[in-house]
Structure 1
Amino acid sequence: MARPFSWVFDVQRKVTYKNLSTWYTELREFRPEIPCIVVANKIDADIKVTQRSFNFARKFSLPLYFVSAADGTNVVKLFNDAIRLAVSYKQNSRDFMDEVLQELENFELEQKEEDVPGQGQRGSTESPRPS
C-alpha cells in the first residue's frame, strides 16, 4: 500500500529540521502527488514548543503533528490520519510512479505463479512405484 511520506524532526535539535525543505523539493521532483505530513517529535521535553509555528509545514501547506514517541502524545492520531491519507491516496492516485510500481508488482506475482508447479504437473513428474 502507498504510504504518506512523513517528515519527522526533533524539536530540540535544529539540525534535524534544517534540511527538510531541500529533501521535500527533491521528493516532489519524483513523487509530486504522494501525501506528506510533518511530525514535530519530543514535545514531552518542552510542551511550549507546541505553541511555535514551523515555517516548513506552513510554506508547503502540510499537516503538522506535535507528538511524543516517549509518552505517546498524539501518536495514535498521527497513525490514524496517516492511514486515512494512504488509503485515500491508494484509491485515487494518478501518479505515474504508482502505476509503474503496480505493474512491477503484478509482473512479480505472475512470475511467482509460473515458478510454482501446479497439481497436474506434479503428478506427471513422479516416477511410478512398482506394485
Structure 2
Amino acid sequence: MASDANGIPELDQDKYDADEQVKIICLGDSAVGKSKLMERFLIDGYRPQQLSTYALTLYKYNTTIDRKAVLVDFWDTAGQERFQSMHPSYYHKAHACIMVFDVQRKITYKNLTNWYTELREYRPEIPCVVVANKIDGETSQTGLFLIFYSLPILFFTRLSLLFAADMKVTQRNFNFAKKQGLPLYFVSAADGTNVVKMFKETIKMAMSYKQNSSDFMDEVMRELENFELEQNKDLSLQTAQEGLKPESPESV
C-alpha cells in the first residue's frame, strides 16, 4: 500500500481498475458498532463482540455508479476514539463521514456534538450521516423477559410489546441530526436492518461531493488527479506506440 507525502496510506486506484476513488470515514464512541456495521455491509456477517478496534482498518469496496467503476475506501478507527479525538490524518481527503451512536447508551449520543465539531474543523464541507445503531437491543431484552417471567395470561400482551419495541426506538426524538440538517438512519448491525441502504446512500453522497465540491483544496486535488490521469494515459499511449515500431534490421 502506497503512502502520500504526509505518510498517509493510499490505495492504488489503477490496481483495482477503478474510474473513481472515494474515502469514507467512521466516527463515534468506542463500542457503538462501527466495525460491526462495516462487516455487515461488506461480508454480510456479524460477530457479537464488545471489543473496541485496536488498529486502523481499511475496508475496500468496489461498486458501480453512473456506469463508472468506483473504489470505496472505508476507514475504521484505531481505537483513538477512546481519547475523544482523532489524528488529523484520519480526516485527510475524506469525501463523506458516517457518525455512529448506540441507542442504548445515552452518552454516545451526547458525544456526537464533539465528534461533529472536530469533523467540521478538518472537513467543513463533506456530507455526513448520523447512524443510530443497535435498535434491536430492546427487542432482545424484551424477549428474555417473555421467556423467563411472563405469565400465560399476559403472553399475548407481552408479545405485542415485543414486536413494537423496534418501532418505539425509531420514534424517539433525536434532535441532533435534525438540528444540523443531517440524514438520520436507524440501523442494526446484528440483524442488518437498514445497513445496506445507509452505506449505499452514503457512497452516492461521497461521489457527488467529490465531483461537485466547492472547497478550494478539493478542487486543487481534483485537478491534480485529472492531471495525473492524463499523464498516465499519455504514457500508456506512448508505450503502446513504441511497441508497434518495426525493429531496425540487424547490421550485416
| 1:77 matched residue in structure 2 | 197
Relative contact order, higher structure (CA 8 A, sep 6+): 1
Which structure 1 residue ranges, 4+ long, deviate > 6 Å from structure 2?
103-109
Q: 1 or 2, which has the higher helix percentage?
A: 1
* Contact in 2 for aligned 1:38/1:63 (Cα 8 Å): yes
1:6 to 71, 77, 98: 98
TM-score by length of 2: 0.42
SS in 2 for 1:43: coil
Note the residue ranges of structure 2 that are not aligned, 5 or more in a row. 1-20, 23-94, 139-165, 230-238, 240-252
| 1:58 matched residue in structure 2 | 178
Q: Cα distance, 1:15 vs. partner?
A: 2.0
Q: Distance in 2 between matches of 1:17 and 1:98?
A: 30
TM-score by length of 1: 0.73
Identity %: 73
* Contact in 2 for aligned 1:31/1:97 (Cα 8 Å): no
Q: Distance in 1 between matches of 2:131 and 2:188?
A: 10
* Contact in 2 for aligned 1:31/1:95 (Cα 8 Å): no
| 1:32 matched residue in structure 2 | 124
Q: Do residues 88 (structure 1) and 208 (structure 2) align?
A: yes
Q: 1 or 2, which has the higher strand percentage?
A: 2
Q: How many residues align?
A: 131
SS in 1 for 2:101: strand
State the one-letter code of the partner of 2:185. Answer: Y
